[in-house]
Structure 1
Amino acid sequence: MAQTLKTPQGRTLAYHLTHGRGPCVVFLGGLKSDMQGTKAVFLEEWARREGRAFLRFDYSGHGESSGDFTDGCIGDWAQDTLAAVTALTKGKIVPVGSSMGGWQSLLLCRAMPERIAGLVTIAAAPDFTEDGYWASFTDAQKQRLETEGRVELPSDYMEPYIITRRMIEDGREQLVLRSALDLPFPVRFLQGTADTAVSVATAVKLLEHATGPDMQLQLVKDADHRFSDDRCLGLMQASLQEVLDKAADA
């Protein structure tokens, strides 16, 4: 059964914390995903076997946490992430960010660089509210967003997304690809070539934009956005282990 944490903003987050040695691995899920997802549970089981500290949680408006999804935005979920990491972990951490969680992990790296020992992302989607949603909206959709405050978008992976004007406007305050993004620790970006939600071009753009001494992008042919078959889970685990080993040697 999940435990709960009250954030400084008054939101209630559900979480599972596995105690063990550090650095603590922190799983950051995607948009409308939750901490019961395949990748989060797989890594938790791995962490338990390894005696490794591990945290998974639901952003507000997601899973078992309080609030409605349509009331949230990137900045709210960044506050949630910061609150969970601050209250529930100590010392160095290694975020593992999936999709929108990849964006959240980059915001976390900016917010507390002194706490980050390394980083793994899976199909990271930085700046997607601007470069994905807003950039692809028709004039009619932009008008609807202005007048009605929301538009509905189909998804290849779940029920339609309700995109609010607040999410778009707040997203512009959270962009990470428009200014310096220094990641001075081991970083592994993982990306499937059959991903219809996040393009290979987005992964390459992130790799080229960010700076750091040990950064790699690994493309997996025919892997989709879920990145959850045995091959992909094994690669995620291996990449995380590599980052942890390098962090231990630093």
Structure 2
Amino acid sequence: MAATNFLDTATGRKLAYHKTDGQGPTVVFLGGLKSDMEGTKAVHLEAWCRARGQAFLRFDYSGHGESSGIFDEGCIGDWHEDTLAAVDALTEGPLIVVGSSMGGWQALLFARARPERIAGMVTVAAAPDFTEDGWWAGFDDAQRRMLEAEGQVALPSDYMEPYIVTKRMIEDGRQRLVLRSPLVMPFPVRCLQGTADTAVSTETALKLLEHATCDDMRLLLVKDADHRFSDGPCLGLIEQAVQDVMAATA
């Protein structure tokens, strides 16, 4: 396995990454919350791109995987800064951005910041605005008081250990919402969503589809697929979606 490389950013963070050289457009994988670049989807997509001679980039946000920082101190804005730093420094030319879960939100934020770089986008169980519409909206009065008094609250997860949700995460998330104002995506977009996903609902996927302004945007609902979306058939659907947006830009 290739050695991990590290990028020192202007914010003082050290981001771990793997980059595969090849033809463009470069496929960039943006992982989910508390996921790292060694996840099944990221590694599979890298191998698929390498076999095609396609350029590819995967990296760890700060507080994730091999990158510097502590997860509980991070927020959506920090990871948006990491995404901009990694993509700006490590890629050239057009991109196919693949965002999984929180990475879907990051992909949408990247599209606002660098629309001219994106040739196409694929989202997998995209979770835009989840800090507000999922966490904050689901807090009871006791949890909201605890967040205010103690600065954090623990939430259970169906997929890993409990999340520590900080006041900073909630407040920063409110500054990064993408479903409250125009979301223009002048490139083909393919959204994948499992119906058995207990972390991101099909309603969220439909809301994104309805909200975005895009001439070529499709949503595929996969019956009984869960949030991981990483078994063989689901990985094949991700490959197909990437190929589809590439074909649409050719």
Structure 1: which 4+ aligned runs deviate by more than 2 Å? none
In the superposition, the TM-score normalised over structure 2's length comes to 0.99
Q: Which amino acid aligns with 1:181?
A: L
In 2, the alpha carbon distance for the partners of 1:142 and 1:12 equals 33
Which of 219, 222, 247 lines up with 1:217 in the alignment? 219
The residue that corresponds to 1:246 in the other structure is 248
How many residues matched?
248
The residue that corresponds to 1:185 in the other structure is 187
Q: Which amino acid aligns with 1:127?
A: D
The residue that corresponds to 2:65 in the other structure is 63
The reply to whether residue 150 of structure 1 matches residue 152 of structure 2 is yes
The reply to whether residue 44 of structure 1 matches residue 46 of structure 2 is yes
Of all paired residues, the percent bearing the same amino acid is 71
The residue that corresponds to 1:136 in the other structure is 138
Which of 197, 200, 209 lines up with 1:198 in the alignment? 200
Q: 1:37-87 CA deviation, whole Å, 9 max, x = no partner?
A: 000000000000000000000000000000000010000000000000000
RMSD over aligned CA atoms reads 0.4
Q: Which amino acid aligns with 2:118?
A: I
Which of 30, 34, 55 lines up with 2:36 in the alignment? 34
In 2, the alpha carbon distance for the partners of 1:143 and 1:12 equals 35
Q: 1:147-198 CA deviation, whole Å, 9 max, x = no partner?
A: 1000000100001100000000000000000000011111000000000000
Q: Which amino acid aligns with 2:82?
A: D
In 2, the alpha carbon distance for the partners of 1:100 and 1:118 equals 18
Which of 95, 103, 121 lines up with 1:93 in the alignment? 95
Q: 1:114-171 CA deviation, whole Å, 9 max, x = no partner?
A: 0000000000000000000000001100010001000000100001100000000000
Structure 1: which 5+ runs fail to align?
none
Which of 173, 176, 180 lines up with 1:174 in the alignment? 176
The residue that corresponds to 2:16 in the other structure is 14
In 2, the alpha carbon distance for the partners of 1:20 and 1:30 equals 25
